[in-house]
Amino acid sequence: MKLSDFKVLTFDCYGTLIDWETGLLEALKPLTDRVPRKLSGNEILETFARYESLQQERTPTKVYSELIATVCKRMAEGWAIPASWDECLQCGHSVKDWPAFPDSAEALAYLKEYYKLVILSNVDNESFAGSSAKLGVSFDAIYTAQDIGTYKPRDNNFHYLLDMLARAGTQKSDILHTAQSLRHDHVPANRHELKSCWIDRQHNREGSGATPLPSEMPHYDFRYFSMAELAEAHRKELAE
């Protein structure tokens, strides 16, 4: 199997292309600064992940910026600290400001020459518009949780992706799903018999951060530590 076997790269965005953990820690700082004990970055992110997964299950149609605001409220309650709803909303609306990974824009610009690029993201459209501007590429399609009405890892999101791409003439065998999250992306990709590429940006870090680990390790077909490594692997493949 080769990278050049595929015609479409479908991407998770946050954690794969956008450095959402850095963005989250900065957005949560007004709350975490009030916690009387010292919190590590990983503890903050793992706490966020627990509440976020629960909230996505309970309110799958809630717009992501509002869902994050609710998660911030729950985190503050758990830490027994004050937090106004306006502060929580401000955190929720910070998604558009989260930084891209330094290698994302350049890698996407290169890959755009060889593939159609498609987003499948647990986000709302307004928030993604801010992120898209940082990535500097025109995506061929963008499918958000707001469009679909559920959050990954639900099968509905992948049914939607495959149905929409099939209508555009794309076969499943043409698609390589490219993502950091094993739980949100690679596990359901396995269920839908999609080939997948793991962008393992957390390979040199302790803890699971803002992405909960799955109960069992899913299969993946390619693994790279960054988008730059993926683009370079494609270059080398073409040169051989």
CATH of the domain at 56: 1.10.150.750
Which residue, 97, 114, 149, sits at the end of a domain?
97
Q: Does the predicted TM-score (pTM) go above 0.85?
A: yes
Average pLDDT over residues 130-154: 97
Query: Which residue in 5, 12, 103, 174 is the catalytic one?
Result: 12
Same domain? 103 vs 171 = yes
Verify that 114 and 196 share a domain, yes or no: yes
pLDDT band at 124 (very low <50, low <70, confident <90, very high): very high
- Res 129: pLDDT: 96
Q: Are 160 and 214 part of one and the same domain?
A: yes
Do both 14 and 127 map to the same domain? Answer: yes
Q: State the residue range of the domain holding 36.
A: 20-97
What percent of the chain is modeled with pLDDT above 70? 100
Give the least confident one: 10-14, 151-155, 206-210.
Answer: 206-210
Q: Do 201 and 124 sit in the same domain of this protein? A: yes
12 is catalytic: yes
pLDDT of residue 207 exceeding 80, the answer is no
97, 125, 155 - which closes a domain: 97
Same-domain status, 155 and 46: no
Mean pLDDT over 172-194 rounds to 97
Residues 165 and 103 in one domain: yes
For residues 106 and 207, membership in a common domain is answered with yes
> Hey, which residues does 197 pair with through a beta bridge?
178, 222
**Quick one: pLDDT at residue 162?**
98
- What distance in Å separates the CA atoms of residue 217 and residue 100, rounded to the nearest whole number? 27
User: What percent of the chain lies above the pLDDT cut of 90?
Assistant: 93
The mean pLDDT value for 75-94 works out to 96
- Give the per-residue pLDDT at 204: 75
In this predicted structure, what is the pLDDT of residue 212? 80
Residue 45 · residue 29 · CB < 8 Å: no
What digits encode the pLDDT tens for the residues 4-40?
Answer: 999 999 999 999 999 999 999 999 999 999 999 999 9
Structural domain tally of the chain?
2
